[in-house]
Amino acid sequence: MNINKNWHQQHYDSLEFGSRIADSVAKGMGSWRFIIIQTVFVIIWMGLNLIAYFKHWDAYPFILLNLLFSTQAAYAAPIIMMSQNRQNERDRIQAQEDYDTNKEAKLEIEALATKLNSIDVEKLDKIIQMLENMK
């Protein structure tokens, strides 16, 4: 384990090319930028097909546009699911790392508490001995 990298960076470095692409696609499709661009595209597509006097390449009810959206959804859904599965795996890894860190911290705290108790006992023994010597 490289001490200079946290587990997030190590996990990212272990991803294959396809996994990185799937994460990028899911991130892009889940953004306001994508929604706005797609909305503008749909408005332009419908506008051009409604006002075109001679050439309606996709007249109302816009069957070709529906086919494009269906194809997009058919590819987007599994890609997004792959990204979500990886997110679940990252969450499991993070939970395990947190658990391990908490266990180590608990052991250290217990060791410190034991050491502090022994120091307190030593101090009390010295005080009792000093009081007995004063008698």
Per-residue pLDDT tens for 17-70?
888 888 888 888 889 999 999 999 999 999 888 887 677 788 888 999 999 999
Closest of 68, 35, 32, 71 to residue 49, by C-alpha: 68
d(CA 122, CA 128): 10
User: Residues near 26 by Cβ (< 8 Å), separated by ≥ 6?
Assistant: 79, 80, 82, 83, 84
**95-131 confidence digits (pLDDT tens):** 999 999 999 999 999 999 999 999 988 888 888 888 8
- Per-residue pLDDT at 110: 96
Q: Per the confidence metrics, is the pTM higher than 0.85?
A: no
Q: State residue 4's pLDDT score.
A: 65
CA–CA separation, 93 vs 64, rounded Å?
44
Predicted local distance difference test score (pLDDT) of residue 93: 87
- What's the pLDDT at 64? 93
- Residue 45, Cβ neighbours under 10 Å: how many? 16
Binned at pLDDT 50, 70 and 90, residue 71 comes out as very high
Share the mean pLDDT of the chain: 87
CA distances from 48 to 12, 66, 70 (A): 44, 16, 21
Q: How many CB atoms lie within 10 A of CB 22?
A: 21
